[in-house]
């Protein structure tokens, strides 16, 4: 596992954007799953700036959205489709864009089609992840099995409590569609981004805790090509011996 600790959120985002460009320019990374949330916002902004400055060519890249609330319309400002389009997809030219349709009444068919699409690609080349405060990756909440596939999940109260700050009372989505841990773990490469002290416990657990379905992020420790990019606040609880290895 490769670990980078940057001085602040801006440096983290810049590091992640430059690392992304290196991987794309290698020609080996073509099918990429992208996250939403607060952590990658500046990462996307920097990628768009690099793209406009012609520092990266994304015409060979196909983008996959990791998850989506359910039920929700794509054009809803609360949807992850709206987020990724506004922050990234509409500003760059990709080969293809794929996302889960949170408004499809047949969610089983929606999940099956997305799973089969990724299978036909031979799996994902790169998954970029954040981590939830309860340890979820994508919307694989605590208790998710390691062999879980693309599916509908019921969100935990811990996730709903955080989301209530973003939605009107009574309108917090209670379900989501998500890539399973299987699809994430089968990716050739994973990059995990974490910023802020609110993520520090989960980052500590990633390195020091038990690998358990109760903490989905913990399984990433077993991945053969895993890279973690943190800011100092997210890394504050890491043990001295880990810090020594990094420094």
30-179+192-202+222-231 in CATH: which number?
Answer: 3.40.50.1360
* Per-domain residue ranges of the chain: 30-179+192-202+222-231
> How high is the pLDDT of residue 13?
98
Instruction: Look at residue 241 and tell me whether its pLDDT is greater than 50.
Output: no
Confidence band for 222, pLDDT divided at 50, 70 and 90: very high
Query: What pTM was computed for the model?
Result: 0.95
Of the pLDDT bands very low, low, confident and very high (cuts 50, 70, 90), residue 246 is: low
Find the helix packing angle between 41-52 and 9-25, rounded to 10°.
50
| Proportion of the chain above pLDDT 90, given as a percent | 89
The whole-number average pLDDT for the span 130-139 is 97
pLDDT value at 74 more than 90: yes
Please list, residue by residue across 143-173, b when 16 or more beta carbons sit within 10 angstroms of its beta carbon and e when fewer do: ebeeebbbbbbebeeebeeebeeeeeeeebb
- Beta strand pairing call for 2-6 and 67-70: unpaired
> How far is residue 9's CA from residue 16's CA, in Å, rounded to a whole number?
10
Is it the case that residue 129 has pLDDT exceeding 60?
Answer: yes
Q: For Cα atoms 43, 244, 132, give the angle at the middle one, nearest 5 degrees.
A: 40
C-alpha span between 76 and 83 (Å, rounded):
9
Strand 175-178 to 67-70 pairing: antiparallel
Q: Which residues are catalytic?
A: 67, 134, 136, 141
Q: What share of the chain is helix, strand, coil (3-state, %, to 5)?
A: 35, 20, 45
Task: Compute CA 108 distance to the chain's CA centroid, rounded to the nearest angstrom.
Answer: 22
Residue 243: what pLDDT? 58
**pLDDT value at residue 247:** 47
């Amino acid at each position: 596992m490769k670990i980078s600790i940057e001085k602040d959120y801006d440096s983290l985002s810049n590091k992640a954007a430059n690392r992304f460009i290196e991987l794309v320019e290698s020609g080996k990374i073509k099918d990429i799953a992208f996250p939403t949330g607060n952590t990658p916002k500046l990462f996307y902004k920097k990628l768009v700036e690099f793209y406009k400055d012609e520092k990266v060519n994304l015409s060979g890249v196909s983008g996959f959205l990791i998850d989506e609330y359910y039920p929700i319309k794509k054009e809803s400002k609360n949807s992850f489709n709206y987020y990724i389009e506004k922050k990234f997809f509409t500003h760059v030219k990709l080969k293809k864009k794929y996302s889960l349709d949170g408004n499809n009444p047949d969610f089983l068919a929606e999940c099956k089609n997305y799973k089969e699409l990724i299978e036909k690609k031979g799996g994902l080349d790169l998954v970029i992840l954040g981590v939830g405060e309860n340890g979820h990756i994508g919307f694989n909440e605590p208790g998710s099995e390691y062999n879980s596939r693309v599916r509908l999940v019921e969100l935990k109260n811990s996730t709903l409590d955080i989301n209530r700050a973003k939605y009107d009372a009574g309108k917090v989505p209670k379900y989501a569609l998500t890539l399973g841990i299987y699809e994430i773990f089968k990716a050739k490469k994973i990059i995990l981004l974490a910023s802020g002290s609110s993520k520090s416990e989960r980052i500590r657990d990633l390195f020091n805790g038990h690998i358990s379905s109760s903490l989905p992020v913990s399984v990433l420790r077993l991945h053969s090509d895993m890279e973690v990019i943190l800011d100092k606040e997210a890394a504050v609880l890491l043990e001295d011996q880990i810090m020594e290895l990094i420094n």
